[in-house]
Structure 1
């Protein structure tokens, strides 16, 4: 579970009063159980920590080779070559919990996201059929957050509902990652969204244990779960090693992820094993490095991927940071690195149906990305402002030609995105 982001505060108690809305007695009693007095004063105190933030992101990824199908192969969030697009317009209403406090706490997160990124983060049966154009709408998060002071002094945290997948380094929120584009590992070898519950047990300050269960990657229930079986996580965090400079996160995941419509009955028992470990080291106040190793095996597809991603970040000035990312990614059968050629193809593929896509033979990909993040402090209600130009070079390391409609062994792209948060 990620740490809560700093957000500007706003109280909704006035809105509730003006609208004639009030929490029922049972809800007021629940607030009292979780460490606040009952009645209006207790409810107002609980609502006082509710925050609302908004964020908008848009960008362009130029490709001088101008592929005939207009698609940057192997790129989800900046897949349309030479076209400006709105990636995200999102609003998040939340009340964070504080794991450092040894008391019962309850919070929540509700996030709605509109834009081109939504095409890849739907949940089957929730939002995948609502839109067919490039800009779509999703509930990116909708979960209850609870802190339980059980078992150890650090207690147990729980999130239940619609969750963003915890595995990997790069996330959907552009302000938490160094680049506009994502690594192959972040697109093809980690999950995106879940319906389920995740737990983090703070065993000792040095060690957290993570576990959880869900319906599958981007699936829900009934006919919206193509294989009708659950999946789950287990792993650990090592915090504050090397004098507080080093943090290590390991997560593994197991469960069937293929559709019965594609593989037949064996899809219910054919496991996919996801494994990701990353380590972040803060060398000094300006320089930090991160390494990520990922291995995935799918019994149903008889396929493997494995990769290593390295990141480096150097703060040139308080508002300007240089970023590097290098990756080697092996798709052992050519069944994972795909580009989807219309706005609904990605989610339709989860059902096992045939969709228009661009594939490549088994390939070892090398990718180098360089860029800077310009992030001045503007104030006046602006929570964050970022401009992030980047240059990226991708190449097949085993002689295949996956790029630019299968014409080239390598591709050069460059572009920029901008983020405004309030």
Structure 2
């Protein structure tokens, strides 16, 4: 009972800290906007016509975002970990998932002219533990709350080959594969699907290209050092990897979009497999389609298949999403998933704050795993997203209920005791 009380007190303290940060963020946003406007006038206002460089500078934006959440587990696993859950991995504990600041100058791909921009994003919080790059930020701290350069890339638009031209991003990139992303405002739930955690990459150092062939078709390709690796000793093998795929846009009178992306290259560590790791490939394949049935109702389906030559392992999954806008500020969300890990080598929970990146590097790491398992997952939730105005860019509250179950009789949940687990929780997001 004493341990439970201590845990509760710690959680309430963290809730207080998160609420304090949110309140302060609102105050800072409200207070700073007039100052920023005056600063812009001071820097850019000129008596004569503005130059192209002045216009480019005026396109630079600074945004901030904070997210905190909790995944409560009534079974209270002894190790305190929600198995198979990265972002809400600590059961019954509030976490400050993200505090992100983004400085950017966007490009406009609809303009047939040379353009250059950039994106710089720093992220602090518990989510950072899973999005490091080897050799850049993975050794900075062993605390639960960590700091990463979530993005740092140069963006260009080149009016080449076709009317739509070619877009390029080069630097530290967030991986483009899959439906759910690191930014909580782009996905319907606090928690992630198994597919989004174990069968798509997270971060890259490299270059990505998108060629706008025609209005209906974009072609994507790119090259990088590997998933969450960099160069030299900070690469877990000596070979690059890369993407290729396509987007089909505005099908069915603008209601349907289809995105296919494949990836190939060695991803396993030479510390685990030896020199064969440099030529044994991992093949990632993801296709998803989103259809807007009405203005209020949309559905998404995602199919993913991964094969790893070095591990002799496969994962196969299908995820379905449904979103229904009940009112302008309230949306109902559904996610259902079937995920097969045919060797038990992919789905795992990492028991220390640096364990995930140690596994990427090929260093032994404390983790909880399961035998070959077919996972079923159902998540229901709502998103309350009022327009607060007063310089608040976005505000969301997203409660959710989730049920996970082994469909082939294994017991991966709650310290290996149960075939299923029930969790409930959610998060709050504030952006300015």
Q: Same fold (TM over 0.5)?
A: yes
Q: Where does residue 30 of structure 1 map in the other structure?
A: none
**8 A contact 1:108–1:145 mirrored in 2:** yes
Q: Where does residue 142 of structure 1 map in the other structure?
A: 152
Q: Where does residue 385 of structure 1 map in the other structure?
A: 395
2:344 is matched with which residue: 331, 334, 340?
334
1:46 is matched with which residue: 56, 59, 81?
56
2:161 is matched with which residue: 134, 151, 164?
151
Alpha-carbon distance in structure 1 between the residues aligned to 2:175 and 2:37? 29
Give 1:12-411 correspondences, 5 Å limit: 41-411=51-421
Report deviation, 1:382. Answer: 0.5
Alpha-carbon distance in structure 2 between the residues aligned to 1:107 and 1:165? 19
Report deviation, 1:16. Answer: 12
Q: Where does residue 21 of structure 1 map in the other structure?
A: none
Report deviation, 1:344. Answer: 0.2
Report deviation, 1:42. Answer: 2.6
Alpha-carbon distance in structure 2 between the residues aligned to 1:9 and 1:177? 31
Distance 1:149 1:9, change over 3 A: farther
Q: Kindly report structure 1 stretches of 4+ aligned residues shifted beyond 6 Å.
A: 8-13, 15-18
**8 A contact 1:338–1:359 mirrored in 2:** yes
Distance 1:280 1:43, change over 3 A: same
Q: Deviations over 1:111-166 (max 9, x none)?
A: 00000000000000000000110000000000000000000000000000000000
**What secondary structure sits across from 1:401 in the alignment?**
coil
Report deviation, 1:226. Answer: 1.0
Alpha-carbon distance in structure 1 between the residues aligned to 2:38 and 2:420? 56
Q: Where does residue 27 of structure 1 map in the other structure?
A: none
Task: Give the gaps of 5 or more residues in structure 2.
Answer: 1-32, 44-48
What is the RMSD of the two structures over their aligned residues, measured on CA atoms? 1.7
| TM-score normalised to structure 1 length | 0.92
- Greater helix percent: which structure? 2
Report deviation, 1:416. Answer: 1.6
**What secondary structure sits across from 1:382 in the alignment?**
coil
Alpha-carbon distance in structure 2 between the residues aligned to 1:208 and 1:352? 36
**8 A contact 1:11–1:51 mirrored in 2:** no
Report deviation, 1:375. Answer: 0.1
Q: Where does residue 22 of structure 1 map in the other structure?
A: none
**What secondary structure sits across from 2:361 in the alignment?**
coil
Report deviation, 1:228. Answer: 1.2
**8 A contact 1:328–1:364 mirrored in 2:** yes
Alpha-carbon distance in structure 2 between the residues aligned to 1:17 and 1:219? 42
Alpha-carbon distance in structure 2 between the residues aligned to 1:77 and 1:187? 9
Report deviation, 1:256. Answer: 0.2
**What secondary structure sits across from 2:395 in the alignment?**
strand
Distance 1:358 1:267, change over 3 A: same
Alpha-carbon distance in structure 2 between the residues aligned to 1:286 and 1:43? 42
Report deviation, 1:41. Answer: 2.6
Q: Where does residue 33 of structure 1 map in the other structure?
A: none
Determine whether 1:416 maps to 2:413.
no
Alpha-carbon distance in structure 1 between the residues aligned to 2:84 and 2:214? 41
Q: Where does residue 35 of structure 1 map in the other structure?
A: none
Distance 1:9 1:226, change over 3 A: farther
Task: Give the gaps of 5 or more residues in structure 1.
Answer: 1-7, 19-38
